[in-house]
């Protein structure tokens, strides 16, 4: 079994190549099964122990570093795009349409991946009504998107809420078809039944890492942020079908748990999973002030975790999920005592740049170096002037 998985993973090593996809044996009941996928990420991503402070007695937290799946293409979105863009190319698309918030990690990853494959990318980005007529700027994800030449259409939050993402992407699709283009639409977060295979495959990767001895025992819990539902759907159905059998908990950073139970159910039904979402995942509310909005306490937590452990969490997704997890551990320590937890870091570092002004009061430790004028110069390497 281990050698078979090793051969399958080794066959996926050439970056940007198109590979035939062979589903895990335990996923044989799911349908449809993708035929191909692109190699867009740097996998497997590492798993290491996360030395979080103030954990309950005998609790271990390990970190799956999907934030290290690439730089321009970092984060959980890469796994979904491997399958979605293979489908786009198979259908003869010459451009990609997708949609998200103004600092959407998914939109940035899609723009980069599309350009790697010589496809144009059209992004519909949601922003404040007050900023609709202004240049959106070059902060964070926007800088990467604009550098790779993505076409950006801005919509207000009010328009997005009134019309919905499906109608907005269809409007742009119809416009591009009239212009002679062949667009392929990817939904918010890449979260449809096809994109779900990204995290079905991630569970096979985790299985292989456990077999190789990454840790000395299985995980009791798998925890992740939930922003559009696809990652959580893949993690939960694959954990349920495979031998991992961990308890999956998702901390939603927008909408509410009932919405995501229903949305994940739709993705599971699209795969013929034959299971209820509420039976295989626990979804907790961690949205706080709302999507991409942070409290001072949440930002302070992100800063303290970085300073304590060296791991930088984004404030929109993994930061809120980890904050929710740690709050629950503090409130209900006996619930977590002795458990071994795998936390999925879904990436999003570039989104942190949008919080510069809010983070500034929390960051210190700088000063002008004191240098006496009498100190003589000693020549060495790296002379700059």
Based on the structure, what is the number of domains in the chain?
2
Establish if 186 belongs to a structural domain: yes
The pLDDT confidence band at residue 385, using thresholds 50, 70 and 90, is low
Note whether 346 and 261 are same-domain residues: yes
3-class SS of residue 66 = helix
Whether the per-residue pLDDT at 5 is higher than 50: the answer is: no
Last residue of a domain, one of 190, 215, 231: 190
Tell me: pLDDT of 315 over 90. yes
Identify whether 275 is part of a domain: yes
On whether both 172 and 125 belong to a single domain, the answer is: yes
For residue 248, pLDDT beyond 80: yes
Confidence of residue 272 (pLDDT cuts 50, 70, 90): very high
Mark whether 265 and 288 lie in a shared domain: yes
d(CA 382, CA 310): 28
> What pLDDT, on a 0 to 100 scale, did the predictor assign at position 10?
43
Element at 11 (helix H, strand E): none
For β-strands 60-65 and 47-49, DSSP reports them as antiparallel
Residues 89-100, mean pLDDT to the nearest whole number: 98
* 331 domain residue, yes or no: yes
Instruction: Reply yes or no on whether the pLDDT at 7 is more than 60.
Output: no
The pLDDT value given to residue 135: 94
Residue 379 lies in a domain: no
Q: Is residue 11 part of a domain?
A: yes
- Structure tokens belonging to residue 190: 């890449």
> Has 13 been annotated as catalytic?
no
Over pLDDT 90: what percentage of the chain? 87
Domain boundary among 190, 206, 241: 190
- Of the residues 69, 74, 104, 165, which is catalytic? 104
- Distance, in Å, from the CA atom of 11 to the CA atom of 19, rounded to the nearest integer, reads 8
Same domain, residue pair 172 and 31: no
Query: Are 25 and 57 in a shared domain?
Result: yes
DSSP per-residue string spanning 360-385: GGG-----PPP--TTPPP---S----
38 and 107 belong to one structural domain: no
Helix axes 77-90, 230-241, angle to 10 degrees: 100
pLDDT at 382: 63
Query: Quick one: pLDDT at residue 365?
Result: 84
Q: Is 224:235 a contact under the CB 8 Å cutoff? A: yes
Structural domain contains residue 207? yes
Are 132 and 52 members of one domain? Answer: no
Whether the per-residue pLDDT at 287 is higher than 90: the answer is yes
* 102 vs 332: CA distance, rounded Å: 36
Kindly state whether residues 114 and 254 are assigned to the same domain: no
Residue 371 pLDDT > 70, yes or no?
Answer: yes
Residue numbers of the domain that contains 186: 77-190
Quickly state the pLDDT bin for 13 (edges 50, 70, 90).
Answer: low
Whole-number pLDDT of residue 384: 60
Asked, for residue 54, whether it belongs to a domain, the answer is: yes
- Across all residues in the chain, what is the average pLDDT? 94
pLDDT at 220 over 70: yes
Task: Say if residue 299 is in the same domain as residue 332.
Answer: yes
Residue 179's alpha-carbon distances to 125, 156, 172, 173, 269, in angstroms, are 21, 25, 11, 10, 35
Query: Do 105 and 251 have their domain in common?
Result: no
- Kindly state whether residues 230 and 255 are assigned to the same domain: yes
Question: What is residue 126's predicted lDDT score, i.e. its pLDDT?
Answer: 96
| CATH code of the domain covering residue 223 | 3.40.50.1100
**Is position 8 within any domain?**
yes
Do 210 and 181 sit in the same domain of this protein?
no
Q: Using the 3D structure, point to which of 190, 218, 235 is the last residue of a domain.
A: 190
């Amino acid at each position: 079994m281990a050698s078979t998985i090793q051969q399958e993973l080794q066959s996926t090593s050439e970056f940007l190549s198109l590979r035939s996809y062979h589903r895990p044996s335990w996923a044989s009941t799911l349908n449809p099964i993708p035929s191909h996928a692109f190699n867009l990420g740097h996998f497997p991503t590492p798993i290491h122990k996360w030395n979080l402070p103030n954990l309950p007695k005998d609790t271990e937290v390990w970190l799956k570093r999907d934030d290290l799946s690439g730089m321009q293409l970092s984060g959980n979105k890469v796994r979904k795009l491997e399958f979605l863009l293979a489908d786009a190319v198979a259908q003869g698309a010459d451009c990609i349409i997708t949609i998200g918030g103004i600092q959407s990690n998914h939109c940035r990853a899609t723009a980069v991946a599309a350009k790697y494959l010589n496809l144009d990318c059209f992004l519909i980005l949601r922003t404040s009504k007050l900023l609709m007529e202004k240049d959106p700027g070059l902060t964070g994800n926007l800088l990467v998107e604009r550098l790779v030449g993505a076409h950006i259409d801005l919509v207000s939050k009010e328009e997005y809420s009134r019309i919905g993402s499906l109608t907005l992407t269809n409007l742009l699709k119809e416009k591009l078809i009239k212009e002679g283009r062949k667009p392929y639409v990817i939904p918010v977060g890449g979260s449809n039944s096809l994109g779900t295979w990204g995290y079905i495959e991630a569970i096979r990767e985790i299985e292989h890492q456990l077999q190789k001895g990454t840790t000395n025992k299985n995980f009791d819990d798998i925890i992740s942020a939930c922003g559009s539902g696809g990652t959580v759907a893949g993690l939960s159905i694959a954990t349920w079908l495979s031998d991992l059998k961990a308890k999956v908990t998702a901390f939603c950073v927008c909408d509410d748990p009932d919405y995501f139970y229903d949305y994940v159910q739709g993705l599971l039904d699209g795969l013929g999973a034959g299971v209820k979402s509420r039976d295989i995942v626990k979804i907790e509310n961690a949205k706080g002030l709302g999507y991409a909005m942070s409290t001072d306490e949440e930002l302070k937590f992100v800063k303290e975790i970085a300073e304590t452990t060296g791991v930088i969490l984004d404030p929109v997704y993994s930061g809120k999920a980890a904050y929710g997890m740690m709050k629950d551990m503090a409130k209900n320590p006996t619930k977590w005592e002795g458990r071994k937890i795998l936390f999925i870091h879904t990436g999003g570092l570039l989104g942190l740049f949008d919080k510069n002004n809010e983070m500034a009061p929390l960051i210190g430790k700088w000063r002008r170096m004191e240098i006496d004028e009498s100190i003589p110069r000693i020549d060495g390497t790296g002379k700059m002037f």
